[in-house]
Every structure is written in structure tokens, then in C-alpha cells.
Copies of this chain bind each other. A is one copy, B any other.
Amino acid sequence: MLYFENDYTEGACPEVLEALVKTNMESLGTYGFDSYSASAKEKIKTACKCPDAEIYFLTGGTQTNKTVIDAVLRKYEGVIAAASGHIALHEAGAIESAGHKVITLPQKDGKLKAEDAETYLRDFYNDDSHDHMVIPGMMYISHPTEYGTLYTKKELEDLSTVSKKYNIPLFLDGARLGYGLMAEGTDVTLPDIAKYCDVFYIGGTKVGALCGEAVVFTKKAPTQFFTSIKQNGALLAKGRLNGVQFDRLFTDNLYLKISENAIKTAKKLKKAFKEKGYRFFIDSPTNQIFIVLENSKMETLKKNIIFSFWEKFDDNHTVVRFATSWATKEENIDELIKLL
């Protein structure tokens, strides 16, 4: 069986695991107050060129989105997102369970467009009855998006401009950030993200760690954010688990190096799909490839390959996803290509 279902089927990348092993019996501070967490934060600040950032480590994407959004918003506020956004569709109502509406705007290639956000905000404040409605209090984007697409630097800048104009923070979900940063043709760097966003997170779970996401508040964290983490059930007693992993990921550029493997293998795979005449659902420059398959073909491929159902395309076709990762071996790509 070949696994291309997602980018979290293996454990940690070897260097990260090694760091866990090496530090295992050290007696360390708890709840994030350990030397590795402190060191990781410094390294991330440096990588972001954002010396004043405040950084916290959480343990998964939905948990991070819920905790950050809930801590930033007031009770009467909601968060603007593309209709395809992870918080809108695939987090089991986590944001709403914390009391906040996800205000969805149409997605364009999985992205929230600055002009759509601006139009929504302008019309909202022009609507006499807006005080009876959910007040938009944040903009949420993901990079890469749910469809593996990427914002350009200009698009981020435009979103940032809208967010400043309406005084609502811009939050970037970077569950797969490494793959976005290493994609061919992107002009967006980590310091750009730190520059344009008020808060974002650097995903570890899908990029080489066993678990862990690094939340970066580029200006200032919300008051008592530590307590919000605890209240959300997101505080690890052994905070070292995240700290050690991120400390290693941000040593010797490891985070980007391992991300590169996913891009390289995806590129090879995309080339094969193209050559074999497969139909792409969307042109994704990162590690996720979305293909429209005839249902019968899908059943055939399923016998040897594990990939993801994405969404129904029409009665006879389905959109499926093949994902590569830091762990994908070139030999498996070759095997997969033979089966296509």
C-alpha cells in the first residue's frame, strides 16, 4: 500500500525525534517555562525578523485556531474567512462552540480576497442594522490554503491594509507553512508574514513534528493568553514536548529543509499526472495535489494507493487529494507513478 493520504502519516522527522530522545531525562520547567521553549522562541523571533513577537506553543491546528480566535475576539465579534476555510468547514464548530460566528465570504482558489473583505466591511458599516449583526473582529486566512494555493506578497499586503483600515487583526493559519514557504515561485517569506499579520502560527504537526504549533503574536499577545490556553484545555504540562521540537526545527534551518522534500516530490508527481493526462481540480504549488477522477478510476487506484476523498465533483467524478510531506520518499513517488 502506498500512503499519500495526508502529510501526517509518519511520526517526527529524525532530527526532531533525536532531540526529544536526547533531552528526555532532563528535569525541566513545566507549562512552557523550560529552556528549550525559551530557546525556540528566540530562534523563531530571529527567523521572523520580529524581535518583539510573543510566542506560545500549542498542540494542534483546531486547538490553535479556537484558542487564538477566542482570546482575540470580544463576545459580540465574529471572524471573517473564506467559505472554504478550515475553521468554516472542518473544525466541528470549534469556533462557534467558543461563541463566535465564522462570517464566510466566497473563496477564490481557496483564498480570501482583500477586495471581497473590504466590500463586505464597507457594506456592513453602511447597513443601518449592523448593530443587530455579528461585528467582524478578525480576518482569518490560511497559507497554504485548503486547496494548497498561496497568497502573493501583494495579496497579503492588501489584506493587511484592509485589516488596518477597519482595525481588525489579520490571523494566518500556517498549519502547512513550511510547504508554502518552500513552494516554487512564491514571493512570500516568513518575515513578510510577520510583517503583514497580527498573529499567525507555524505548523509543526504537518511539518516534521509529532505535534505542535507555534503561535506568533507579532505585536502583543492578548492579556492573560496563558490563562486562555489553560481554559481551552490547550496547556501541556510537559510543554517541553513542543519546545524541544520547535527548538530543533528552527536550528540549522531544519524546518525549511524538510519542507523542501515535500515540494520536490510533489513537483515530480504533478509532472507525472500531467503527462498521463489527469485532470487537475486546481493548480496547487505546494504539497497537496487535487485531481478530478472518474469514480471507476478512483476505485481502481484505491486498491494500491491511499489518498483522500476531497469533495464530490459531479455524479461520475470525485475530487481526490494526494499529499506529499517531509517524509515522502522518492521511491514511493516512482511506485505511485507506475500505478497511475
Mark A residues whose CB is within 8 Å of B: 3, 5-6, 8-12, 14, 17, 20-21, 23-30, 59-67, 70-71, 74-76, 78, 89-94, 96-102, 123, 126-129, 131-135, 205-206, 210-211, 223-224, 226-228, 230-238, 240-241, 308-309, 311-312, 327
Residues of B within 8 A of A23 (CB): 11
Do B3 and A30 touch across chains, with their CB atoms under 8 A apart? no
**Interchain CA distance A135-B222 in the complex, whole Å:** 14
- Contacts A9-B27, A17-B21, A99-B97 given; does A76 touch B235 at CB 8 Å: no
How many copies of the chain does the oligomer comprise? Answer: 4
Selected contact of A11 from candidates B8, B20, B100, CB within 8 Å: B20
Residues of B within 8 A of A232 (CB): 94, 97, 233
Selected contact of A78 from candidates B60, B96, B131, CB within 8 Å: B96
Do A10 and B25 touch across chains, with their CB atoms under 8 A apart? yes
Residues of B within 8 A of A62 (CB): 230, 233, 235
Do A237 and B75 touch across chains, with their CB atoms under 8 A apart? no
- The winner among A21, A29, A327 for most chain B CB atoms within 10 A is A21
Do A70 and B63 touch across chains, with their CB atoms under 8 A apart? no
Q: 9 tightest CB-CB pairs across the interface, nearest first?
A: A63-B233, A11-B24, A92-B230, A93-B134, A3-B27, A92-B231, A96-B101, A9-B27, A76-B227
- Contacts A9-B27, A96-B100 given; does A132 touch B227 at CB 8 Å: yes
Task: Give the shortest distance, in Å, between A326 (CB) and chain B (any CB).
Answer: 11
- Contacts A20-B11, A133-B92 given; does A312 touch B233 at CB 8 Å: no
Task: Give the shortest distance, in Å, between A320 (CB) and chain B (any CB).
Answer: 11
Task: Give the shortest distance, in Å, between A309 (CB) and chain B (any CB).
Answer: 5
